[in-house]
Amino acid sequence: MAKLTPPPGPQDHARGKEGAPVTLVEYGDFQCPHCGKAFPAVEDIVKKMGPGLRFIFRHFPLSESHAMAKPAAIAAEAAGRQGKFWEMHHGIFQNQEMLSAETLFAIAQHIGLDLEQFRNDIQDTALEDKVDADFESGVRSGVNGTPSFFINGQKYNGSYDEESLMASLTF
């Protein structure tokens, strides 16, 4: 069974406290329709499990199929510099059907980002390097499609619907 490489650390965007009994890591692509379908299920699980779950999102943009996946990932990282990674993450998935540079700026404005800083940050190669590092960690971890999930460091191979995921999270 594939193991998560590297383990969760300070490089990750995480919701929930470190040391929670269950850590769920998703490798996702903001333009992937399957990730879009998994998004509400994961959100419900995060709410239901509360302090029992730590959720981490890592970027795995499938750029050959989804032209806006990497720009969206970089936009989320740029929002993260202003403390709003998760707001951008949610906004992108909620507007997945109409992803464009204009949509990313509209989301940035809607969530209250400093747009000048956002404009500068999305051009910073360090953010592209972060997205690439997430992608590479996915490859090393055995990710071959999105969404891919890891539960407490072990690759989860079941369905990504809420019921199936939840059953695997509560042992």
- Taking only the tens place, the pLDDT of each residue in 91-105 is 999 999 999 999 999
- Measured distance CA(13)–CA(120) in Å, rounded: 21
**Structure-token pair, residue 98:** 């109409």
pTM above 0.75, yes or no: yes
Average pLDDT for residues 2-15, to the nearest whole number? 94
Work out the pLDDT band at 145, boundaries 50, 70, 90: very high
Percentage of the residues of the chain whose pLDDT score is greater than 90: 98
Mean pLDDT over the full length of the chain: 96
- Measured distance CA(76)–CA(119) in Å, rounded: 12
Tell whether the model's pLDDT for residue 132 goes beyond 90. yes
C-alpha angle 39/88/44, rounded to 5°?
Answer: 30
Nearest alpha carbon to residue 97 among 39, 42, 58, 43: 39
Average pLDDT for residues 37-53, to the nearest whole number? 97
Residue with tokens 């507007």: 95
